Amino acid sequence: MAEESLAQAFERIGIRPLPSVEALKAMTEDERRAALTASRVSAEQYEQLPAWYRDKLRRRAEATIARRDAEQAATRRVS
């Protein structure tokens, strides 16, 4: 069986992808708010995302934290 794509998972779970910046700029404030709300992922929905995507998000978060920690350590050494 083929892996579920992110688009398929979003459709299955009921998450709408965030519109493009251009589309957001063309919207009213209420339309933007509704679009952001529709693209938000709850904890329950997160658990329903494909494992490969959750792993990708975890790795990205870990890399961001490591980079931030290294930058903060470098700043402390310079001070």
- CB contact at 8 A, 5 and 53: no
C-alpha distances out from residue 52 to 13, 16, 37, 64, 67, Å: 16, 19, 24, 18, 23
Q: Burial, 25: exposed, middle or buried (Cβ in 10 Å; 0-12, 13-18, 19+)? A: exposed
pLDDT band at 78 (very low <50, low <70, confident <90, very high): confident
| pLDDT, tens digit, 9 for 90 and up, residues 22-65 | 999 999 999 999 999 999 999 999 999 999 999 999 999 999 99
Domain parsing of the chain, residue ranges = 1-48, 51-79
